[in-house]
Amino acid sequence: MVRPQARDIATLSRTRELLEKYGFSFKKSLGQNFLIDPNILQRIVSVAQLSRDKAVVEIGPGIGALTEVLCRAAGKVLAIEIDQRLLPILQESLAPYDNVQIVHGDVLKLDLHRLLAEHLSAYEQVSVVANLPYYVTSPILMKLLEERLPLERIVVMIQKEVAARVAAEPGSKDYGSLSVAVQFYAEAEVAMTVPAGVFIPRPNVDSAVLNLRLRERPAVAVEDEQLFFRVVRACFAQRRKTLYNNLLHNLFGKENKEQVISLLQAVGLDPMRRGETLSLAEFARLANEFARLRQAAASGNERV
Ligand code: SAM
């Protein structure tokens, strides 16, 4: 079969042509801002360090602007799109490529382990590369990380402020529970910032490309992951409050002042510090000691 010639999708003229041909109108509620700058696409792909022996999962291919560049750089591309109206457009725009598989569905609801096993099992290294819909950035990132998908990297275009929060270091104003949650699973860096003008329609915010390199094992050893994240969330619950106050009101309950003090003493943390100054290792110490206290209390029938 002779496949049609590839014409770059990520140009304003080709994008307009496709949108008009199919009478497509953008849905803001689905975070639809399509890339129209081939240079940005090349830069995203170079951050992802793809090669023919690697596979890629793309979330939200839109009309295929990034998908096409991924098809040229990787061995296989699995692209998940929620908006059914885009499927016929993708069929036309990606017709020149035989290494792409489009899956229709909501990435938050799909069984990604199964999809990877079904479509990409021939590849040892799989990365996620995507220009994410901004309304669901954090749930998507957390799903990819918490489900422990066998991924090498996650390279995603997201809102600049969110990228800064994900990659923030302890003590900075952007550091919060999202930074801890992501950095627990991955090394995070902001690879580049991207102006609003490279999208159609133009979003109200600037964007950045976040580069996550997944760790072989979590950054710190914790007894109980759920408990670790509960402790982290409690410590950040009210940013202006001290560790002592946040733990008292959001984890222990206000009648347990002494237990909070003795927990903090046991791990050598100053009760007057704020959650935003704690490193992952300090959160792990705190959570592990809390887990130990709970176990001790449970066996002695005390309440913690
Ligand atoms: N990749 C294209 C590009 O760069 O031009 C489009 C990116 S656009 C920011 C986000 C895409 O994600 C849209 O195509 C949208 O329909 C799709 N999308 C939104 N929510 C989704 C979800 N829950 N699951 C899968 N795709 C989704």
For the stretch 71-117, pLDDT in tens is 999 999 999 999 999 999 999 999 999 999 999 999 999 999 999 99
Domain membership of residue 230 (yes or no) is yes
Residue owning the nearest CA to atom 20 of ligand 1: 30
In percent, the amount of the chain with pLDDT more than 90 equals 92
Residue 274 has pLDDT above 70, yes or no: yes
Which residue segment(s) compose the domain that 159 sits in? 12-214
Compute the C-alpha angle 275/165/49, nearest 5°.
Answer: 130
| Confidence band for 1, pLDDT divided at 50, 70 and 90 | low
Residue 64 near ligand 1, beta carbon < 6 Å: no
Same domain, 27 and 73: yes
Instruction: Mark whether 50 and 174 lie in a shared domain.
Output: yes
Q: Are residues 78 and 170 in the same domain?
A: yes
Beta strands 186-194 and 207-214 are antiparallel
Query: Are 128 and 254 in the same domain?
Result: no
Ligand 1 near 34 CB (within 6 A):
yes
287 pLDDT higher than 60: yes
DSSP at 5 = P
- Residue ending a domain, among 168, 188, 214, is 214
237: CB partners within 8 A, 6+ apart: 246, 249, 250
User: Is the CB–ligand 1 distance for residue 32 below 6 Å?
Assistant: yes
Residues 12 and 228: their CA atoms lie apart, in Å, by 47
pLDDT band at 197 (very low <50, low <70, confident <90, very high): very high
The CATH number of residue 179's host domain is 3.40.50.150
* Cα 278 to ligand 1 centroid, rounded to whole Å: 35
180, 214, 248 - which closes a domain: 214
Is residue 129 one of the residues assigned to a domain? Answer: yes
Q: 304 vs 206, which has greater pLDDT? A: 206
Residue nearest (by alpha carbon) to ligand 1 atom 17: 60
**What CATH number is given to the structural domain containing 233?**
1.10.8.100
* Contact assessment for residue 190 and residue 151, using Cβ atoms and an 8 Å cutoff: no
R_g over Cα of the chain: 22
pTM to 2 decimals?
0.94
Q: Are both 201 and 275 inside the same structural domain?
A: no
